[in-house]
Chain A
Amino acid sequence: AQTVTQSQPEMSVQEAETVTLSCTYDTSESDYYLFWYKQPPSRQMILVIRQEAYKQQNATENRFSVNFQKAAKSFSLKISDSQLGDAAMYFCAYRSPGGYQKVTFGIGTKLQVIP
């Protein structure tokens, strides 16, 4: 079974600075999808970024980018120019490809943005 590990329960970053959230996963599959979700205080889970394992290029969405290291099974999220609205819980998630597959979520990292 796949597992997703987020080893940082909490992180903090100064406004306008850059922060990196860590995620590692365990799988025997060669193709899969990885995701980062944001959960602000409103509780709604919002998809931030998505990476397909067969793509070598790291995904980027505006100020959000990932460092995908397939051999190391690492999938970190970098937030540049942090804003107060970035404060939230961030969840890393894994999904196998093809048809219906369960998404496995990490336990989450709470990000605090300091003004």
Chain B
Amino acid sequence: DAGVIQSPRHEVTEMGQEVTLRCKPISGHNSLFWYRQTMMRGLELLIYFNNNVPIDDSGMPEDRFSAKMPNASFSTLKIQPSEPRDSAVYFCASSLGQGAGKAFFGQGTRLTVV
């Protein structure tokens, strides 16, 4: 299996622009997590999907952030409009069952908003 695939690996955008991050989970996994990693706050859970349904979005910072999972093999995290403070590495992870601790992570998308 190719593992969790995220795209793009790097994204540089101007403040105010819309940014879409993409994730393909491991085939057969029914749980998907979006995390954000910064030096100041470490790794934070943004949203959790189970069987394509958002279960916990309490970590989504504000309305500018939205996430979708239209099917079991694809998810997006969108930021609109983007701000410099959104600069971070965004990880997608998937697992079989609800065991977030045993999730497999993608290689992340490094987002820079200038």
Q: Which residues of A contact B (CB under 8 A)?
A: 33, 35, 42-47, 50, 91, 93, 95, 99-103, 105-108
Instruction: Tell me how many residues of B have a C-beta within 8 Å of chain A.
Output: 25
Contacts of B12 in A (CB 8 A): none
- Tell me the nearest residue of chain B to A108, going by C-beta: B42
**Is B93's CB under 8 angstroms from A47's CB?**
no
B114 CB within 8 Å of chain A: no
Given A43-B89, A95-B100, A106-B105 contact (CB < 8 Å): no
In the assembly, what is the distance between CA of A35 and CA of B93, in Å? 15
Which of B3, B42, B106 meets A106, CB within 8 Å? B42
Q: Which residues of B contact A (CB under 8 A)?
A: 3, 31, 42-45, 48, 50, 55-56, 89, 91, 93, 98-108, 110
**Is A42's CB under 8 angstroms from B101's CB?**
no
**Is B101's CB under 8 angstroms from A103's CB?**
yes
Nearest CB of chain A from residue B2's CB, rounded to whole Å:
12
**Is A93's CB under 8 angstroms from B101's CB?**
yes
Q: Which of A47, A93, A102 has the largest number of chain B CB atoms within 10 A?
A: A102
Given A100-B55, A106-B42, A44-B101 contact (CB < 8 Å): no
**Is B43's CB under 8 angstroms from A91's CB?**
yes
**Is A103's CB under 8 angstroms from B45's CB?**
yes
In the assembly, what is the distance between CA of A101 and CA of B55, in Å? 11
In the assembly, what is the distance between CA of A91 and CA of B105, in Å? 13
Contacts of A102 in B (CB 8 A): 45, 48, 56, 100
**Is B48's CB under 8 angstroms from A100's CB?**
yes
Contacts of B31 in A (CB 8 A): 100
- Tell me the nearest residue of chain A to B58, going by C-beta: A102
- Tell me the nearest residue of chain A to B110, going by C-beta: A43
In the assembly, what is the distance between CA of A105 and CA of B108, in Å? 16
In the assembly, what is the distance between CA of A91 and CA of B101, in Å? 12
Contacts of B93 in A (CB 8 A): 45
**Is A95's CB under 8 angstroms from B101's CB?**
yes
Given A45-B91, A106-B42, A107-B42, A100-B100 contact (CB < 8 Å): yes
